[in-house]
Structure 1
């Protein structure tokens, strides 16, 4: 099974790429979905977050993501505290999901991880290739502002909390340029899918 890490910067369009790949029949393990699952009401992880950041972080029994985001994206110390709680649980769940798809004997599995490089996922034995979705800094900023209804400072703080996009580009096996329209992006994804299907048999014995 060929395991492909899909990443990019916030607002670059990685989720769009992930959806196109999923719609084309590629199974996708989404780290954002896993991160939501591990903090559902009643989980130990949610209780740890509540103890660490205070009861105000819970709204109607669920995690108030906007309030938590305002705390951690402007303070590296608080972000590190959150990551120390979240990452071991997320990693464990990701490994379980990869094992499930390996048992299904799928030829290619996409691992959608926004912070793939920041969390060292590319150093894990199970990721074979990395795809990075890119945009210009200005396009990225405007998309983050519009998507999350943020002012420029808050949007830039969220961008700055991640590794610079240029560093991710330098470590990618494949790049998808999302500065154009959707048809421009879809054509690149189509070529990528052909490439992945072509090399997948080399990884069939893993």
Structure 2
């Protein structure tokens, strides 16, 4: 069984590709979901957040994301403190889910937005990158999140460039077209993957 790292730039359509791959029977382990689980209601992770960031960091038994987000946005020390709480828990959650899927005989998609930035490409067998050019990325992000050009550009430039991710990919899924074109491309990539990995 293979472990595939799925990544891409912000607003590249990675979540759509992830959903399509699930339909082909891949087990999807999602880093964003794991990071929410790590500080969910009643968890040790949430208690740790409250201890480090104060009572205001928890509202109605859940993490007060806007408040914590504001605290860490321009403060690298606070951001690192949050990462120290969340990252080890996320790794444990994802590792457990991955092992469960492999035991059940399924190929696994590790859906990790910051795969390259966090040097996790060495933990997977192949890297698949969902690609759109930066101009399309900007347009989609501005529209999706109702952001100004500068705010969208700042978010995009806080990640490794999409062109660099494309260079490092084993497989590129180009999402510059419409949904139908994306579905065809994913179908082709999956078929080729299964051809390469037929059980001997």
Q: TM-score when scaled to structure 2?
A: 0.89
- Going from structure 1 to structure 2, the CA distance change for 1:161 and 1:72 (only over 3 Å counts) comes to farther
In the TM superposition, what is the alpha-carbon distance from 1:151 to its structure 2 partner? 3.3
Contact kept, 8 Å, 2:130 with 2:175, in 1: the verdict is yes
Superimposed CA distance per residue, residues 105-156 of structure 1 (whole angstroms, 9 cap, x where no aligned partner): 12x21111111111221122xx100001111212212222332333334333
Secondary structure at the aligned position of 2:80 is classed as: helix
CA distance in 1: counterparts of 2:167 and 2:13, whole angstroms: 18
Q: TM-score when scaled to structure 1?
A: 0.87
Secondary structure at the aligned position of 1:189 is classed as: helix
- Going from structure 1 to structure 2, the CA distance change for 1:189 and 1:60 (only over 3 Å counts) comes to same
List aligned pairs for 1:1-206, cutoff 5 A.
1-106=1-106, 108-124=107-123, 127-201=124-198
Contact kept, 8 Å, 1:3 with 1:111, in 2: the verdict is yes
- Going from structure 1 to structure 2, the CA distance change for 1:21 and 1:122 (only over 3 Å counts) comes to same
TM-align CA RMSD: 2.0
- Greater RCO (Cα-Cα under 8 Å, separation 6 or more): 1
Contact kept, 8 Å, 1:6 with 1:131, in 2: the verdict is yes
CA distance in 1: counterparts of 2:73 and 2:135, whole angstroms: 19
In the TM superposition, what is the alpha-carbon distance from 1:164 to its structure 2 partner? 1.8
Which structure 1 residue ranges, 5 or more long, are not aligned? none
Contact kept, 8 Å, 1:136 with 1:179, in 2: the verdict is yes
